[in-house]
Structure 1
Amino acid sequence: MFRASLMSLLAVAVLAGCSNTGGSSSTAPEAAANNDGRCEARGAEFAVGKQITPALVEQARKASGAQMARALGPRDVVTLEYRSERLNINTDAQGVVTRVNCG
């Protein structure tokens, strides 16, 4: 229950506009060029295997070109409508990213 609440809180924080704009170096690729806000999941594949953080969610969102992103734990309840502008970041029970996809 706590993990699901934490993951939901993380998604809300990202959607509320939280971002890390510090000068830290990043291995994230540049944002997808001219995709009209549609998600390109391959741009966010760098996140697989990393611990989920609000900063990682934002980096992955930008790298995919998506307008929004959500972090999903293994027991999170989610809506299943497809949204071409949304990046889904799936994690395991320890909060490690296992998969990224659009929708």
Structure 2
Amino acid sequence: MNLIRSVPLMACSAILIGCQASLDTPQATEGSAAQCDASSIQTLVGEQASPALLDQARRKSGAVTARIVRPGDIVTLEYNAHRLTLTTDESLKIQRISCG
């Protein structure tokens, strides 16, 4: 009976582990200097978002990670001072740039 309960639990765990993404960039700690500064890239508002532009903006802002958020995208609500967020409209035109 325990085996019948364990198999679905192991399957769910394997699926969740597979959903995790890792980045090649080192993770910053709370005390590190790699904190996002969106003020340096506000000139990108109105530009067309792309993976290349996202990486360029991430590097210029000093952020460790970055994401593009379109209308209707599901996002996490935790604050991350090392993450850059480019908020776009449906056509991927950048509407807002923020950290967190």
Q: Is residue 44 of structure 2 the alignment partner of residue 58 of structure 1?
A: no
Q: 2:79 aligns with which of 77, 82, 90?
A: 82
> Identity percentage over the alignment?
41
Count the aligned residue pairs: 73
Q: Pick 1 or 2: higher relative contact order, CA cutoff 8 A, min separation 6.
A: 1
Contact 1:44 1:61 in 2 (8 A): no
Unaligned runs of 5+ in 2: 1-20, 25-31
1:69 to partner: Cα distance? 0.2
C-alpha distance after superposition, 1:1-39 (max 9, x if no partner): xxxxxxxxxxx7xx756xxxxxxxxxxxxxxxxx81100
Partner of 1:22: none
Larger Rg: 2
Partner of 2:7: none
Contact 1:44 1:63 in 2 (8 A): yes
Q: TM-score, normalized by length of structure 1?
A: 0.65
Q: 1:38 aligns with which of 24, 35, 38?
A: 35
Matched letter for residue 66 of structure 2: A
Runs of 4+ aligned residues of structure 1 deviating over 3 Å after TM superposition are: none
CA-based RMSD = 1.8
